[in-house]
């Protein structure tokens, strides 16, 4: 079986969060603290252990509450691509979830059960063994709500680390009138 890999863009998202939150000194501390080569390429695959090490460093050095913030930042830090979100709602983003997940990770499934007032999101077979990963995923999903200006909540309901066959997240929002778009930016 191939080792679990993650795209460099995920690692860079966490690194940008650290730099944005604690400056270049914070980023330098992270890099030296975990022995990370800072020359991460956005489109290359890296051992997912680096993601775990970054999240563990954030939790141990800056506090557990920053794990969710890191996940949220990694999804909302779009730079010039943010204009694309102007034309998307939360349902559209979630419909592309499986495709986007597969582009970032080399194993596991991302399954979305979309409803009128929310979605159940399952991440199965991902090999998640990091106690911080699910908190980061909650942040990612909250970031999706924020990007689309959708008022909603996210709750983790199951975890592979607890012996379940998948991690599961419940995303809920208010019902919208037919023809009205959820959460357009600007």
Residue 136 sits at the vertex; the CA angle it makes with 16 and 80, to the nearest 5 degrees, is 40
Predicted structure pTM score = 0.84
Q: Environment class of residue 186 by beta-carbon count within 10 Å: exposed (0-12), middle (13-18) or buried (19+)?
A: exposed
pLDDT at 89: 84
How many residues belong to the chain? Answer: 186
Q: At what angle do helices 8-34 and 65-76 cross, to 10 degrees?
A: 140
Instruction: Encode the chain (186 residues) as per-residue pLDDT tens digits.
Output: 458 888 999 899 999 999 999 999 999 999 999 999 999 999 999 998 899 999 999 999 999 999 999 999 988 876 545 555 556 788 888 988 888 888 888 888 899 999 989 999 999 876 556 778 889 999 999 999 988 889 999 999 998 888 888 889 999 998 654 444 544 433
pLDDT at 85: 57
pLDDT at 37: 94
In sign, the C-alpha dihedral spanning 80, 54, 141, 103 is positive
């Amino acid at each position: 079986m191939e080792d679990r890999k993650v795209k460099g863009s995920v690692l860079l998202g966490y690194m940008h969060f650290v730099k944005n939150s604690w400056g270049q000194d914070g980023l330098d501390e992270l890099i030296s603290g975990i022995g990370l080569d800072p020359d991460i390429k956005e489109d290359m695959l890296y051992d997912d252990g680096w993601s775990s090490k970054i999240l563990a460093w954030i939790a141990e050095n800056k506090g557990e509450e920053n794990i969710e913030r890191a996940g949220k930042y990694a999804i909302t830090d779009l730079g010039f691509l943010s204009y694309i979100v102007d034309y998307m709602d939360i349902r559209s983003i979630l419909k592309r979830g499986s495709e986007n997940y597969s582009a970032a990770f080399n194993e596991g499934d991302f399954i979305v059960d979309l409803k009128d007032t929310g979605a159940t999101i399952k991440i199965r077979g991902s090999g998640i063994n990091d106690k911080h990963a699910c908190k980061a995923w909650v942040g990612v999903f909250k970031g999706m709500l924020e990007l689309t200006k959708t008022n909603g909540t996210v709750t983790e309901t199951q975890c592979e680390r607890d012996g379940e066959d998948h991690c599961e997240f419940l995303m809920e929002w208010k019902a919208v009138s037919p023809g009205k778009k959820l959460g357009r930016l600007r």
